[in-house]
Amino acid sequence: MNDTSDTIRLAAQLRARVVAMSHAAKAAHLASALSCLDILTVLYESVLDIDPARPKWEDRDRFILSKGHAAAALYAMLAHKGFIPASDLDRYGKAGSMLEEHPSPKVPGVEAATGSLGHGLPVGSGMALAARIRQRDYRTFVLMSDGECNEGSVWEACLFAAANKLGNLCAFVDFNKWQATGRSREVLALDPLVDKFRSFGWNVHEIDGHDHAQILNAVAQVSTAQQQPTMVVAHTVKGRGVSFMEDDNNWHYRIPTEEEVERARIELGVQA
Amino acid sequence: MRNAFAAAVTELGEIHPELVMLAGDIGNRLFDSFKDRHPSRFYNCGVAEANMTGVASGLAASGLRPITYTITPFNTVRCLEQIRLDVCYPNLPVIIVGTGSGLSYAGLGATHHSMEDIAILRTLPNMHVVCPADQTEVKLAVADALRIGRPTYIRLGKKGEPQVHETPPAFTIGRGIPMRAGRDVAILSVGNMLATAMQAADTLEGQGVSTEVVSMHTVKPLDEALLESAFADRKLVVVLEEHALAGGAGSAVLEWGNMRGVDLRKLVCVAGPDRFLSACGSQTQARTEIGLTTADVVTRVTSRLN
């Protein structure tokens, strides 16, 4: 078993940072950012072969945050890794800042323009196919939301990736059971999500999306040598890590007050 | 045009090892020689144009030069947001090729007509819009789009279009090709209307109207030098296109002329109506119904001159 205490500590720090960023920018989608932060942290810290000094390095692993509304989580991570200066986070969402509320491809480390849902998996499939054509062994990771699986283009890409045996492609569904206006199981009948992906020809893992060891284990086999793309259905809690936000969909749009930022920081055990 | 396109990409695949063909479940036999010569660079993406366009974006972002190919409405408006966000926003070198544009598939019904594609695609930042006139221009357009390396929409007919160029002309995206000279009227012909434009010019010459014809294959970026010259000393400037009036090439010229402050009373737009076309039979019959024949062009010009 890998020691995950470092990534757990980092995820808490990033959560506190993202809560503060939401307050400062008056930017929504905080709970969506919190739900995927463990997946982001494990991928960036323990999985992705990337080099912040060379964001366009040809052999880098690719990561696409297809649920672009969680941009704050991605920016906090890109700053932690050194793709962008940490001071840029203070200007998130403000005039003149490239850190918009959805990721722009102009930001170093951002692989695709996302924010409109259902774009990341087709684009990621193209990146994975390009690795095969160009005989390179990088891998491509895509992080989607459960609400995003309403989009037909997600399923078009599922067919394409399986048909083309893109074993170097791995997608996550941050399955926090909520979309903007309701339970994702009720808005459209998502369940059984695992069976759906399996029947589309993917190698599917169903995990606790906050358990760092399980996240690591789920992606261990992703490589050009595989014949099937990997889908990780990650059960998560929207607003994870802050008790008064967890599984409360008001925090899809709500902005935390200064006092709530402080309460969240203390709960997360992060130094001021 | 589609055969010329298939031949062109097969040949261009040799000098562009990064060229990758993506097709939307059409042209099965059409690309046989491409597949023979470049077996790892042809992908049938099925009937899933949104995904095909996203895949093209991912390929282009990874150093390849993809071309997507299927019937025009399905490769343009069906997957418009993918073109907008996956291709144009990051300004990636993806070439989108629509086959059967305008009224090429007149008899297949309005599902297969594309009288709005120029209007819609030219509004996208970073996008070039190119409408080759005949088979010769098809090959030159694809080659030049690959040279330039940015989002490009290439609007093809289907097959059997009249061959107008006797020898390959100099071809640059954004620069019209002079076909014949004339002092009174300039006909700027877009795409597959060129044979009609040439015939109309012949008829007008017979009536004493000296008529220039230019193959204005590129709607975006417009050939501004060409437009400056045409509006400077011609009595009329005709823009002829197998596309709706709203937002088409004529509309683009109108926008340019407004910004530039030229005399727009000289402009005559010969284009299609604002309605779905039904029961049109062949392309020729459809053009007759909506006023896109040689006789229509001649009448529009002479009535305005008088």
CATH of the domain at B95: 3.40.50.970
Q: What is the mean pLDDT of residues B30-59?
A: 97
pLDDT averaged over chain B? 97
Q: Which helix (H) or strand (E) holds B26?
A: none
The CATH number given to whatever domain includes residue A204 is: 3.40.50.970
Q: Does B166 fall in a domain?
A: no
Domain count, chain B: 2
The residue out of B93, B124, B155 marking a domain boundary is B155
List residues of chain B with CB under 8 Å from any CB of chain A.
20, 40-41, 43, 45-46, 48, 50-64, 66, 81-82, 85-86, 89-90
> Is this prediction's ipTM beyond 0.90?
yes
Which string of DSSP letters, residue by residue, matches A53-95?
Answer: T-TT-TTPPEEEESSGGGHHHHHHHHHHHTSS-GGGGGGTTST
Domain that holds residue A254: 5-268
Residue B169: closest CA among B201, B141, B130, B197: B141
**Per-residue pLDDT for A202 more than 60?**
yes
Q: pLDDT by residue (tens digit) across B184-204?
A: 999 999 999 999 999 999 999
Same domain (yes/no): B257, B224: yes
- What is the residue range of B299's domain? 177-305
Tell me what pLDDT residue A235 has.
Answer: 98
- What is the total count of domains within chain A? 1
Residues B6 and B82 grouped into a single domain: yes
In a shared domain, residues B229 and B182? yes
With contacts defined as CB-CB under 8 Å, which chain A residues touch B55? 122-123, 125-126, 129, 157, 160
Q: Which amino acid is at A56?
A: K
Instruction: Determine the Cα–Cα distance for residues A10 and B281; give it in Å rounded to an integer.
Output: 67
Most B CBs within 10 A among A100, A107, A133, A144, hence the mutation to make, goes to: A133
Which residues partner with A203 through β-bridges? A230
Average pLDDT of every residue of chain A: 97
Give DSSP secondary structure letters for A251-271. Answer: GGT----HHHHHHHHHHHT--
The amino acid sitting at A129 is L
pLDDT at B218 over 90: yes
Q: Determine, for residues A123 and B57 on separate chains, whether the beta-carbon distance falls below 8 Å.
A: yes
- In a domain? residue B163: no
Q: Do B55 and B121 lie in a common domain?
A: yes
pLDDT in tens, A180-197: 999 999 999 999 999 999
- Do residue B186 and residue B279 come from a single domain? yes
pLDDT digits (tens, 9 = 90+) for A39-80: 999 999 999 999 999 999 999 999 999 999 999 999 999 999
**B130 and B262 together in one domain:** no
Is there a single domain that holds both residue B191 and residue B300? Answer: yes
Percent of chain A with pLDDT over 70: 99
Q: Compute how many other C-beta atoms are within 10 angstroms of the C-beta atom of residue A92.
A: 23
pLDDT value for B271? 98
Sign of the CA dihedral running B77, B82, B88, B92: negative
- What is residue B172's DSSP assignment? B
User: Are B290 and B231 members of one domain?
Assistant: yes
Report percent pLDDT > 70 for chain B.
100
For residues B123 and B204, membership in a common domain is answered with no
Question: Is the domain of B148 the same as that of B16?
Answer: yes
Same domain, B202 and B267: yes
The yes-or-no verdict on residue B59 having pLDDT over 60 is yes
Q: Domain containing B280 — which CATH number? A: 3.40.50.920
User: Do residues B93 and B214 share a domain?
Assistant: no
pLDDT at B120 over 90: yes
Quickly tell me which residue has 């097709």 as its tokens: B23
Would residue B160 count as lying in a domain?
Answer: no
Cβ separation A130–B48 shorter than 8 A: no
